């Protein structure tokens, strides 16, 4: 049985998971979410969790747990643990919450088997739901239609010397890093004033790769929150952002904003967040021009070096397909990222716990339509 106690978002425990920090609570508050934080107490299970309330209309909300809870129980207890936590959160969050969505950072229970068989895909949702609900009382956990962040991510080991890190990369990646340098590509930290340039490249990247870009306000929120944390003197605010400002966290995240240039042309950019011992590659962009200059290779190598200098031991490059599948639409992304020598971490992905089943069904139907709408 869980006992939850409310806490300030600036009192969240230190973590390497950016999305479970007070900083992330502030970022999302600027984008219309209402952040809540809770201490967890259960038999032999302790920790805390950040929950983001997202309005759904008609007075209802989704309770979203981004990359949390951090600490996982044994695999056979995944479902019962989430069921108990969900019922405790439902009591604490009140009747407006239609369902709870967990974006689990926990290792997938299928990870070892997938690696042994060289599988390129997780089992179908029905099979995963049967396994997740084993041992629960209500069989109420549902695999979400989409994973909110990533279910499989490429993580590069930054331990050792720079030569050690380079040695773990594939020869072609090392060659392209050197080629970018020989062609005169320069990578430097940039001012937030350059965000419009980055966003232009980002939109090019989205169009080229067929994904829907997020809005410019997302990038603004990342940097305005960080600047607000460094400068506590600011005009009074109202709404969810005011709540987050009132609970301004300690310096629990650092942003690296990098731009790669060749001559007067900006060819690539990246926004990387450093949190604890992990550097999170949040957003990347590259130009359609001068592709032969290999600017993205130089950009990631620069980000890794800066992260390592600041004490990070891991560089999370974000989403990749679970395996090497030439037929997968993001096969090229898999080849690019795995060239840096990392390991694909197979995680459990996003799971829903419906409270109002009709509202949850309506939300999922709309989500499914958006998923299949051309970008």
What is the reported pLDDT for 115? 87
Measured between alpha carbons, how far is 109 from 156 in angstroms, rounded to an integer? 22
What is the reported pLDDT for 55? 94
| pLDDT tens column, 249-288 | 344 689 999 999 999 999 999 999 999 999 999 999 999 9
CATH architecture type of domain 153-346: 3-Layer(aba) Sandwich (3.40)
In CATH terms, are 3-150+347-372 and 153-346 the same topology? yes
In degrees and rounded to multiples of 5, residue 6 shows phi and psi of: -70, 150
Measured between alpha carbons, how far is 344 from 367 in angstroms, rounded to an integer? 27
Average pLDDT by stretches of 10, the chain with 375 residues: 89 95 96 96 77 94 96 95 96 96 96 86 94 97 88 94 98 98 98 96 90 91 78 42 38 86 97 96 95 98 97 93 61 84 93 97 86 49
Length of the chain: 375
In the chain, domain spans: 3-150+347-372, 153-346
| pLDDT tens column, 300-353 | 999 999 999 999 999 999 988 766 666 555 666 878 999 999 999 999 999 999
Q: Give residues with Cβ within 8 angstroms of 119, minimum separation 6.
A: 110, 113, 322, 323
Q: What is the pTM of this model?
A: 0.89
Measured between alpha carbons, how far is 312 from 171 in angstroms, rounded to an integer? 24
What is the reported pLDDT for 237? 41
CATH architecture type of domain 3-150+347-372: 3-Layer(aba) Sandwich (3.40)
What is the reported pLDDT for 371? 59
């Amino acid at each position: 049985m869980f006992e939850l106690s409310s806490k300030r978002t600036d009192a969240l425990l230190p973590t390497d998971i950016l999305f479970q920090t007070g900083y992330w609570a502030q970022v999302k508050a600027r984008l219309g979410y209402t952040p809540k934080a809770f201490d967890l107490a259960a038999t032999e299970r302790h920790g805390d969790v950040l929950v983001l309330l997202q309005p759904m209309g008609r007075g209802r909300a989704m309770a979203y747990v981004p990359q949390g809870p951090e600490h996982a129980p044994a695999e056979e207890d995944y479902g019962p643990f989430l069921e108990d936590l969900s019922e405790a959160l439902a009591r604490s969050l009140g009747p407006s919450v239609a369902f709870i969505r967990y974006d689990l950072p926990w290792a997938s229970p299928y990870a070892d088997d997938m690696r042994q068989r060289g599988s390129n895909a997780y089992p179908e949702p029905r099979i995963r739901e049967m396994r997740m609900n084993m041992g629960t009382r209500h069989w109420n956990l549902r695999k979400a239609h989409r994973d909110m962040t990533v279910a499989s991510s490429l993580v590069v080991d930054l331990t050792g010397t720079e030569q050690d890190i380079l040695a773990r990369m594939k020869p072609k990646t090392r060659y392209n890093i050197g080629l970018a340098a020989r062609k005169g590509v320069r990578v430097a930290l940039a001012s937030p004033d350059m965000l419009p340039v980055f966003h232009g490249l980002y939109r090019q990247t989205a169009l080229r790769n067929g994904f829907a870009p997020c809005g410019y306000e997302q990038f603004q929120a990342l940097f305005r929150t960080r600047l607000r944390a460094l400068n506590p003197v600011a005009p009074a605010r109202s709404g969810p952002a005011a709540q987050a400002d009132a609970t301004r966290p300690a310096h629990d995240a650092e942003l690296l904003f990098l731009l790669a240039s060749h001559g007067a042309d900006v060819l690539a950019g990246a926004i990387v967040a450093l949190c604890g011992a992990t550097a999170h590659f949040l957003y990347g962009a590259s130009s359609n021009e001068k592709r032969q200059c290999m600017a993205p290779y130089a950009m990631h190598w620069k980000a890794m070096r800066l992260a390592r200098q600041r004490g990070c031991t891991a560089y999370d490059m974000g989403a990749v397909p679970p395996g090497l599948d030439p037929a997968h639409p993001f096969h090229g992304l898999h080849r690019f990222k795995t060239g840096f020598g990392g390991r694909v971490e197979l995680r459990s992905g996003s799971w829903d716990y419906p409270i109002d089943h009709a509202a949850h069904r309506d939300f999922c139907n709309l989500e499914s339509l958006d998923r299949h709408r051309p970008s």
